[in-house]
Amino acid sequence: MTDNINEIGRRKFLKLSAGVFAGACALTTLKPLISSMNPSKDVLASSTKKIDVSGMKNDDVRVEKWLGKPIFIMKRSVESLKIVDEVSMDALKDQQSDEQRFYDRNWLVVIGVCTHLGCIPIAKQGDYNGWYCPCHGSHYDLSGRVRKGPAPSNLVVPLYDIIYNDPEKKNASHIIIGVEKGTANV
Amino acid sequence: MSNDNKIIDQSKTGSVVDWIEYRLPVFSFIKHLCDYRTPINLSFMWNFGILAGIALVVQIVTGLFLAMHYTPHVAHAFDSVEHIMRDVQYGWLLRYTHAVGASFFFIVIFAHIARGLYYGSYKSPREIVWICGVILYVLMMATAFMGYVLPWGQMSFWGATVITNLFSAIPLIGDSIVSLLWGGFSVDNPTLNRFFVLHYLIPFIIAAFAVIHVIALHQFGSTNPTGVEVKNVKKETVPFHPYYTYKDLVYVVIFFLVLFMMIAFLPDYLGHPDNYIEANPMITPSHIVPEWYFLPFYAILRAIPDKLMGVLGMFGAIAVLFVVPWLDRHPTKSGKYRKYFKIAYWIFIFNFLCLMWLGGQEAAEPYLTLSRISLCIYFSYFLVALPLLSKYEPISPDIPESIESSLKSKG
Amino acid sequence: MLIKNIRFFAIILFASLQYLLFIHNAFASDIFKPLHPKKEVAWQFDGVFGKFDRASIRRGYKVYKEVCAACHSLNRIAFRNLTEIGFSTKEAEALAAGYNIIDGPNDIGEMFDRPGALADHFVKPYPNSEAARASNHGALPPDLSLIIKARHDGANYVYSLLTGYKGTEPDSGGLYENPYFITGKLAMTPPLADGIVSYDDKTPQTLSNYAYDVVNFLQWTASPEMEHRKKIGYKVFIVLIVLFIFCVIAKKKVWDDAGK
């Protein structure tokens, strides 16, 4: 063989780059395949949910379904809010104040899925007047914050907007889950 | 040794490769595949085998992802396919790739079979490779037939009705067999469900038979365009890798290029508009046609006026393929050196294309008479021409001594 | 040797493409040939470089909404899809809110009405096919979402049908003469006439413009992915051509060693 080093090198480069290029094309085909497993457009469009809360009384807890998960809505009474106010930050595993969580403290809106392993906590149970998760014994308080048990964080607050009957915002008529505060079209 | 051979050098590759190799000889198996000696003079007609394998992988992968979104229930099937087309991310790409890919699978297979028939690839000692191949073809047709039913369009439903009704031609037990196939008294939900299950399953059986097909091939190696068996391994063969891996890669790229151009710009071309209408058991379309790759057999079916004979004719046209190695026993393998065989072969090919066209016409004159003539030509190629040629065709003096001498004479 | 192979290969490819073209006409033909060949329009979406004419599609939507939607459903289109043809999210929400959707059951088990939202699909004119037939002398107005793909050469067919009526009076059987329909007479009253829809832009309000625009709209409803699909086609074409060249050169280099 009279190939010089350059020729052999060029050949190797060409063969290698053809192979690598072909491999890269093959890998590109993975993108639409994997993408197709992502939520489809109709699922992404599953709209917001408008819930009529005008009939709720103090300390009522409602459970609604949204995106396949339960939502807890509680109309908290003055007494409940007092209990919430008495909790100090040091007692909390996941430190959040009630004001940080809910912009209208009369209304608690959380996703009713335990942050431990996903079971649905039971309302008005447990040691903290809030929720109790029967699967592994996590306790949540009247702000939906974890106080005891293996759950690592507080019950998640979704995007929601409250629609009021009055301009003073004392009487809520509807809560819309899935929209930013103040953006909902009535 | 050339740079391209992978020698498992213990001092270089370390113990991981050895550890695996000792327990499951994967690496030496890959080396065996790469070193596999292949005749040096194969033309592009020998590339269709690997293309068929690629087409199978494309169908299985796209099919798998489609199945994540498809619902095999009569009330939801059509809607689920439109859901895939409109809402699933890249769903339209999956669907069109799968539909056009099926047609391309058949194009590749027809070319592959045409190669086999011309070059005598079915002759001794490769009869089992050929029989495996015909089994693969039958499995492919079953899979494609059931797959076409799944979107539950008008053609899906009525094609299924017509073809499953064929089995009622079987004397005595025909009607029971048909209602067994249907799971009911007409093509309906049980039928759709089981077709989905079988359509998902059979491609894996095809994959298994493809492996057996290649194992059988590797017993004696590939044929080559001269039809003369390899005599000098060193001079007449090359290792599969890198020679045929790189050559195959070129044709794989061409395959994907043509496939993608069809998907991007003519995705519904090979399909039928009636399949975009949801199945209606109360309305028969004016013109029921199967997909193009079934048209020759459909032509044969309709050409024979008797129901049972029509069914036997159609299945017979496929069954005759199994016995080709025993119909053609001429000592010369390659059609290149058989001048009378060549004429018969090209008449057969042209006739097959005519049958395909005729299958798409209405079942009326003059198409019926033409189909009958065509069907006679089809069967006489196998049952008359091949045996007669085996006996009486003189052996050509031009057959080269060996592959080596044929290469030398080409210069 | 290579040239011979390429020539042979090219001939086979060309011949097969010609054959496929030929055979396509064969099995796509209708048994009953219409009395007239279809009118052929130069559609903007046709061909390798075809695109949607969004202004025309929006006008076509207006035609659908004001004329066709009375009898023809468009079930596969959701209000959120309207943003793909140039309506803003707010406009689409407003359009949706103009419709009444029956939802439910509510807490006391009753169905109730609510305004449409983006996620809802277009509202059907009739609750089921029996009601549709009852209101249309036994004929069922088909859903139009896929009509362009469900008819051979669909765009030209629908355009010819809409512009092809011979007169506006029905015959004794209640059918209207139209040489572009498969039997020459159909049950649909001629839906279009000059001036029945007022366009928001300066496009002349003629029957043929209405037909042109509504066909553009229906082409979009049948193939909303068309532009994305063609775009991917261009990209794949370029990448694979380059890859092809690389592979051919690599293959040549490999085979130069053969027999040495």
Chain A residues in contact with B69 by the CB 8 A cut-off are: 36, 40
Is residue C238 a part of any domain in this protein?
Answer: yes
Is residue C109 a part of any domain in this protein?
Answer: no
Q: Two tokens at B277?
A: 């209408």
- Report the alpha-carbon distance of residue A136 to residue A117 in Å, rounded: 9
Q: How far is the CA of C181 from the CAs of A54, B235, C207, in angstroms?
A: 57, 68, 18
Bridge partner list, C176:
C186
- Report the alpha-carbon distance of residue A91 to residue B101 in Å, rounded: 62
Output the CA angle A139-A145-A149, nearest 5 degrees. Answer: 30
Cβ contact C230:C49 at 8 Å: yes
Q: Are residues A24 and A55 in the same domain?
A: no
Q: Say how far residue B211 (Cα) sits from the centre of its chain.
A: 15
Q: Are residues A94 and A150 in the same domain?
A: yes
Is residue C52 a part of any domain in this protein?
Answer: yes
Query: Which region, left, alpha or beta, applies to residue B398 given φ > 0 means left and ψ of -120 to 50 means alpha?
Result: alpha
pLDDT at residue A186 is higher than 50: no
Q: Are residues C194 and C237 in the same domain?
A: no
* Half-sphere exposure (Cβ direction) of B319: Cα atoms closer than 13 Å: 6
Q: What are phi and psi of B48, to 5 degrees?
A: -70, -25
Q: Are residues A46 and A26 in the same domain?
A: no
Q: Are residues C188 and C203 in the same domain?
A: yes
Q: Are residues A49 and A81 in the same domain?
A: yes
Total domains present in chain A: 2
CATH number at residue C44: 1.10.760.10
- Over the stretch A90-144, which tens digit does the pLDDT of each residue have? 889 999 999 999 999 999 999 999 999 999 999 999 999 899 999 999 999 999 9
Q: Are residues C64 and C157 in the same domain?
A: yes
Q: Are residues C195 and C248 in the same domain?
A: no
Q: Are residues C69 and C151 in the same domain?
A: yes
Torsion of CA A66, A70, A71, A77, to 10 degrees: 150
Place of tokens 């006409």: C25
* pLDDT on residue C24: 56
pTM of this prediction? 0.88
Question: Hey, which chains touch A, using 3+ CB pairs under 8 Å?
Answer: B, C
- CA-nearest residue to B407 within chain C is C259
By residue count, chain A amounts to 186
Q: What are phi and psi of C185, to 5 degrees?
A: -140, 140
- Report the alpha-carbon distance of residue A58 to residue B324 in Å, rounded: 86
Total domains present in chain C: 2
Q: Are residues A97 and A84 in the same domain?
A: yes
Radius of gyration for chain A, computed over Cα atoms and rounded to the nearest angstrom? 27
B90/A37 Cβ within 8 A: no
C241/B257 Cβ within 8 A: yes
* pLDDT on residue B1: 46
Chain B residues in contact with C32 by the CB 8 A cut-off are: 286
Q: Where are the alpha helices (DSSP H) in chain A?
A: 5-28, 30-35, 41-44, 78-85, 98-101
Q: Are residues C163 and C217 in the same domain?
A: yes
* pLDDT on residue B10: 52
Identity of the residue in A1, A45, A48 whose CB atom sits nearest the CB atom of C260:
A1
Q: Two tokens at C200?
A: 């928001």
* Secondary structure (3-state) at C206: coil
**Chain B interface mutation, best of C6, C16, C27, highest count of B Cβ atoms under 10 Å:** C27
- Report the alpha-carbon distance of residue B357 to residue B296 in Å, rounded: 8
* pLDDT on residue C117: 86
- CA-nearest residue to B4 within chain A is A12
Asked if residue B242 has a cis previous peptide bond (ω within 30° of 0), the answer is: yes
pLDDT at residue A166 is higher than 90: no
- Report the alpha-carbon distance of residue A161 to residue A57 in Å, rounded: 19
Q: Are residues C260 and C148 in the same domain?
A: no
Is residue A182 a part of any domain in this protein?
Answer: no
Which residues of A are catalytically annotated?
Answer: 136
Is residue C83 a part of any domain in this protein?
Answer: no
State yes or no: is B218 an active-site residue: yes
Torsion of CA B234, B402, B346, C11, to 10 degrees: 50
Q: Are residues A85 and A9 in the same domain?
A: no
Chain C residues in contact with A22 by the CB 8 A cut-off are: 243, 247
Q: Two tokens at A21?
A: 């290029």
Q: Are residues C216 and C230 in the same domain?
A: no
CATH number at residue A96: 2.102.10.10
Q: Are residues A76 and A94 in the same domain?
A: yes
Q: Two tokens at C11?
A: 């001939």
Give this complex's ipTM: 0.89
- Report the alpha-carbon distance of residue A70 to residue A143 in Å, rounded: 16
Cβ contact B359:B295 at 8 Å: yes
Is residue C230 a part of any domain in this protein?
Answer: yes
Q: Are residues C162 and C52 in the same domain?
A: yes
C78 at the A interface (CB within 8 A)? yes
Q: Which domain holds residue C244?
A: 225-260
Is residue C232 a part of any domain in this protein?
Answer: yes
Chain C residues in contact with A48 by the CB 8 A cut-off are: 117
- pLDDT, average across residues A155-160: 94
Per run of 10 residues, the mean pLDDT along chain B (length 411 residues) is 51 78 94 94 96 98 97 97 97 98 98 97 97 98 98 96 93 94 95 98 98 96 95 93 94 96 96 96 91 96 93 96 97 95 96 95 90 96 97 94 86 53
pLDDT at residue A4 is higher than 90: no
B319 at the A interface (CB within 8 A)? no
- Report the alpha-carbon distance of residue B292 to residue C177 in Å, rounded: 35
Q: Are residues A93 and A33 in the same domain?
A: no
Cβ contact C235:A28 at 8 Å: no
Q: Are residues A21 and A78 in the same domain?
A: no
Fold of B25-295: Cytochrome Bc1 Complex; Chain C (1.20.810)
* pLDDT on residue C30: 46
Q: Are residues C58 and C147 in the same domain?
A: yes
Q: Which domain holds residue A76?
A: 42-177
- Over the stretch A81-91, which tens digit does the pLDDT of each residue have? 999 999 999 88
- Report the alpha-carbon distance of residue B216 to residue B47 in Å, rounded: 18
Q: Are residues A59 and A113 in the same domain?
A: yes
Residue/partner pairs of C230-238 with CB below 8 Å, 24 or more apart: C230/B264, C230/B265, C230/C48, C230/C49, C230/C50, C232/B93, C232/B264, C233/B260, C233/B261, C233/B263, C233/B264, C233/B265, C233/C48, C234/B264, C236/B257, C236/B260, C236/B264, C237/B257, C237/B260, C237/B261, C237/B264
- Report the alpha-carbon distance of residue B281 to residue C246 in Å, rounded: 53
Look over chain A and give the mean of its residue pLDDT values, rounded to a whole number: 88
Q: Are residues A29 and A46 in the same domain?
A: no
Is residue C124 a part of any domain in this protein?
Answer: no
* pLDDT on residue B363: 86
Is residue C103 a part of any domain in this protein?
Answer: no
pLDDT one digit per residue (tens) for chain C, 260 residues: 556 666 766 677 777 766 766 655 544 444 445 556 788 899 999 999 999 999 999 999 999 999 999 999 999 999 999 999 999 988 998 999 999 999 878 778 999 888 888 889 999 999 999 999 999 989 999 999 999 999 999 999 999 999 999 989 998 888 999 999 988 999 999 999 999 999 999 999 999 999 999 999 999 999 999 999 999 999 999 999 999 999 999 999 899 876 54
Q: Are residues C186 and C238 in the same domain?
A: no
Name the residue among C149, C235, C34, C18 with its Cα closest to residue B155: C149
Q: Are residues A95 and A123 in the same domain?
A: yes
- Report the alpha-carbon distance of residue B123 to residue B223 in Å, rounded: 10
- Report the alpha-carbon distance of residue A15 to residue A17 in Å, rounded: 6
Locate the domains of chain B by residue range. Answer: 25-295
